[in-house]
Amino acid sequence: MSSVAVITGASSGIGLATTRALAAAGWTVVATARRPAAAHALRELAAEGPGVQLKSLDVTSDESVQECIGSILAELGNIDLLVNNAGAGHRGTL
Ligand SMILES: NC(=O)c1ccc[n+]([C@@H]2O[C@H](COP(=O)([O-])OP(=O)(O)OC[C@H]3O[C@@H](n4cnc5c(N)ncnc54)[C@H](OP(=O)(O)O)[C@@H]3O)[C@@H](O)[C@H]2O)c1
């Protein structure tokens, strides 16, 4: 069985690119986003094969984190790598 990676904020940018790279390297990737159903590029990636699984996760909600991680452990048994990428940058004049 392949190693399991969990990526937060996988709907775009670095999280999406990391999902693509780890899946191509043979990892089982659980790609999480607040609304995975609305993340078109991520859904296309998941449709390419069984290596990418989508789950809903909002990192600001303890309930969401516990539900998501609990279901991953129940389904896949363990997590080998966490890429805690979710977040938002802020640029502007102070
Ligand atoms: N790009 C850079 O130059 C740079 C530099 C320094 C640090 N970073 C950091 O690297 C990370 C990724 O950057 P990026 O450029 O790839 O940003 P991005 O394209 O805006 O992606 C951010 C991701 O975080 C997700 N996200 C935001 N709030 C979330 C929440 N509460 N729960 C779950 N997911 C959430 C977004 O998902 P949804 O909105 O779809 O839910 C999105 O998938 C960020 O933490 C950013 O601060 C980036």
pTM value is 0.93
Q: Is the CB of 34 under 6 A from ligand 1?
A: yes
One-letter amino acid identity for 54?
A: L
Q: Give SS3 for 90.
A: coil
Q: Identify the sign of the CA torsion 63, 66, 70, 71.
A: positive
Q: Is the CB of 36 under 6 A from ligand 1?
A: no
**Taking a C-beta distance cutoff of 8 angstroms, is the pair 8, 79 a contact?**
no
pLDDT digits 0-9 by tens, 45-63: 999 988 999 999 999 999 9
**Ordered domains of the chain (ranges, CATH):** 9-83 (3.40.50.720)
Looking at residue 37, its pLDDT comes to: 92
Backbone angles phi, psi at 6, to 5 degrees: -115, 130
d(CA 2, CA 78): 11
Q: Is the CB of 86 under 6 A from ligand 1?
A: yes
pLDDT digits 0-9 by tens, 72-90: 999 999 999 999 999 887 7
**Taking a C-beta distance cutoff of 8 angstroms, is the pair 43, 37 a contact?**
yes
